[in-house]
Amino acid sequence: MTRSHCYCFSGIIISLLIHTLASPPLHFCLPDQRDALLEFKDEFPTDESDPIPWNKSSSTDCCFWKGVTCDDRSGQVISLNLFDTLLNGSLKTNSSLFRLQYLRHLNFSYSYLQGEIPSSLGNLSRLTLVDLSHNDLVGQVPASIGNLNKLQVMSLGQNNLNGTIPISFTNLTKLYHISLRSNNFTSTLPSDMSGFHSLEHFDVSNNSFFGPFPKSLFSLPSLQTVSLEGNQFTGPIEFTNTSFSSSLAKLEDLFLASNKFDGLIPQSISKFLNLQTLYLQNNNFTGTIPRSISKLANLYVLDLSNNMLEGEVPSCLWRLTTVTLSRNFFSSFENPLQETLIQALDLNSNSFRGPFPRWICKTRGLSFLDLSNNLFNGLFPPCLRNSIDSLTDLILRNNSFSGTLPDIFANATELRSFDVSRNQLEGKLPKSLINCKALQLVNVESNRIKDVFPSWLGSLPSLHVLILRSNEFYGPLYHLNVSVGFQSLRVIDISHNDFTGTLPPHWFSNWREMTKMREEDDPYMADIINDSVFYRNTMVMVIKGVETSFERIQQDFRAIDFSGNMIYGEIPESLCYLKELHLLNLSGNGFTRGIPRSLANLTKLETLDLSCNKLSGQIPQSLGELSSLSYMNFSSNFLEGPVPRGTQFQRQSCSSFSNNPRLFGLEEICGKRLSLPARQQPEEVLEEEEHMFNWVAAAIAYGPGLFCGLVIGHIFTSCYHERWSKKTQSHHK
């Protein structure tokens, strides 16, 4: 025996004596249990942080050690909870843990246990709770788990477990909570699950489980939550195998999303009278919504998006609070008889047609409304005035709404996104939008709005995205007595309008959001991430000459597109304050004088298009140092002198410099054929650009970086085609 063992041993005697003499023998640590614990601790690497704070020299009763619970009478260790203790090691088959034969609860959740689950876990036959959830176990679940026939709770979620579920699993009939979520199981479920009489929570989401819908599971009236989400289950779903009366069914939450289920949504869904949430999105369901769904009086969330459903939407859905029907083929809805309770309604990308459904205006507390990508027509609904005070998102993009936008936004204090792009709206922007202090996004792209530049929007404190592209806006951007703030703006696209006038040198100096250099671990980043506008909104912009759809707006994307207007004069020097800018497009205007040298301060710049202006002088050599700059276009100006030598310049297409008769140094870029001066025939320009745009398209679709939108069309930005594309611009129907 070593000294420390002696000490430790006498420590135990003393502590036993103290316990025996000073207090009734509630519980005290048995030596074998204590040794097993200490040896268990020794199986894991220790460092300064000492994750398991037990030690030999400590004389306290091991029943008081962190995470240890003993039986009051026998002193046996019955529970070990090492939740959130960084073990950084694996559990060996001969681990001393398995000497703790009286364990009932074993909770190693978030302890980052590695390796496989040893088969000797099956020796701890008294276990009722096993929680090994979170991030590093591998391999298969041992068949011996079937020996744990007292088990009630088994949580193995968020590991890298794989393979199949052992047959012995069906032994565990006392289980009321099973979670295997987010692992790599490639398995079918046991064909008969009707023996799990006590099962309440069953979660196998985010694995590769396959096979048919587990009918037998749904014969259990005890079920409360079932998630099969994110697997490879196939075929139809049905709930006919239920022998219990539906008033006994406890099921409240059913997640079947993101599988390969198909066929009809069965009428038998109404067996689960207590259902509150039902997620069937991202499958291949066909047919109509079953009428029986009206029996589910407690249902409040329904997501059917991204299926092949069609027909009429029954009015019983309008008493739910969240209804997501996007990306289906629904064509009409039954009008509700009374007031509806809907708070979030997403009808995006269906085949709805006709005028705006007026019953939506009767909805009290409506917050999210997305009708985009349908065939709605007629006037923009003034009756929305009634629900405007609760609306946070109004998204009507890509329909055929016409007429003027009514001035109904005075009370829209919650409104964050206002997207009416790609309709046939005309008239002016409603001035009452100035009251929408929460506004983050205004997108009226591709309408026929005829108004002056809305400088007044510059005072909105949270406006991040302003898109006025392809309308009939006119007049100067700058007014002497209006100071334009736009302090929160991240993306502004006012291209293809009739804006004119000059921009004073200081014009951009108040655009704080684009000015501010972002530290990598700035708490500000967390703010942005919570910014739901950047989750929910899609947007289309021309990136590198290609019309690109952003399924979501990237939070740190910063862009200015003023192209295709008639703005003239000098490029404002204050641009160089916008240090976070990724895209700058000033092409197709009348800018004169030189390219400001300070543009080289925009170190994040990826796209720079100054083509089709009247710029003169040299291209600043310092631009050659911008290593992020992957696309640039200086064509059709009066630039002269040598092209900067940086690698990014050498990678450009020859046409990026064409039509600048006095530019030289293009041999490497254009090849011998087109050495100085860089002048080309229009046909050649077209051919080359087409080639290049295809390349750019591929890069955008598959490349990393910020521009990971979806290419939906090609726009030619060379001056010849500029006019052409503007004149023939359709409304992208």
* CB 163 to ligand NAG: min, Å: 4
Of these, 18, 26, 167, 525, which contacts ligand NAG (CB under 6 A)? 167
Build a one-symbol-per-residue string for 639-678: x at contacts with ligand NAG by CB under 6 A, - elsewhere.
Answer: ----------------------------------------
Of 231 and 398, which has the nearer Cβ to ligand NAG?
231
Give CA–CA dist 560/574, Å, rounded.
13
Kindly state whether residue 601 participates in binding ligand NAG, applying the rule CB under 6 A.
yes
Kindly state whether residue 191 participates in binding ligand NAG, applying the rule CB under 6 A.
no
Question: 388-421 as b/e, with b when 16 or more CB fall inside 10 Å?
Answer: bbbbbbbbbbbbbbeebbbebbbebebbbbbbbb
DSSP letter at 344 equals E
Kindly state whether residue 302 participates in binding ligand NAG, applying the rule CB under 6 A.
no
Give CA–CA dist 584/604, Å, rounded.
11
Of these, 90, 109, 259, 613, which contacts ligand NAG (CB under 6 A)? 109
Give CA–CA dist 304/264, Å, rounded.
12
* CB 498 to ligand NAG: min, Å: 31
Instruction: Collapse the DSSP code of 501 into the 3-class scheme (helix H, G, I; strand E, B; otherwise coil) and give the result.
Output: strand
Kindly state whether residue 103 participates in binding ligand NAG, applying the rule CB under 6 A.
no
Kindly state whether residue 149 participates in binding ligand NAG, applying the rule CB under 6 A.
yes
* CB 447 to ligand NAG: min, Å: 23
* CB 43 to ligand NAG: min, Å: 7
- The verdict on whether omega for the bond into residue 677 sits within 30 degrees of 0, i.e. cis, is yes
Instruction: Report the site for ligand NAG in 357-386 (rule: CB under 6 A).
Output: 385
Give CA–CA dist 592/572, Å, rounded.
11
Instruction: List Cα–Cα distances, 380 to 15, 358, 394, 397, in angstroms.
Output: 81, 11, 12, 12
The answer to whether the beta carbons of residues 290 and 263 sit under 8 Å apart is no
Burial of 523 (0-12, 13-18, 19+ CB in 10 A): exposed
Of 135 and 675, which has the nearer Cβ to ligand NAG?
135
Q: Indicate the angle between helix axes 682-702 and 719-727, nearest 10 degrees.
A: 70
Of 97 and 669, which has the nearer Cβ to ligand NAG?
97
Give CA–CA dist 43/51, Å, rounded.
12
* CB 481 to ligand NAG: min, Å: 26
Of these, 4, 46, 74, 94, which contacts ligand NAG (CB under 6 A)? 94
Instruction: Collapse the DSSP code of 462 into the 3-class scheme (helix H, G, I; strand E, B; otherwise coil) and give the result.
Output: coil
Kindly state whether residue 53 participates in binding ligand NAG, applying the rule CB under 6 A.
yes
Instruction: Report the site for ligand NAG in 399-428 (rule: CB under 6 A).
Output: 410-411
Task: Determine the interface stretch with ligand NAG among 5-13, 164-172, 271-279, 700-708 (rule: CB under 6 A).
Answer: 164-172
Which residue in the block uniquely carries the two structure tokens 């298009």? 609
* CB 680 to ligand NAG: min, Å: 34
Give CA–CA dist 91/377, Å, rounded.
64
Instruction: Report the site for ligand NAG in 255-284 (rule: CB under 6 A).
Output: 260, 262, 284
User: Residue 65 corresponds to which tokens in the numbers above?
Assistant: 């050690």
Binding residues (CB under 6 A) for ligand NAG: these are 39, 45, 53, 55, 57-58, 81, 83, 86, 88, 92, 94, 96, 98, 107, 109, 120, 123, 129, 131, 138-139, 146-147, 149, 153, 155, 160, 162-163, 167-168, 171, 181-182, 184, 205-206, 230, 260, 262, 284, 286, 385, 410-411, 576-577, 598, 601
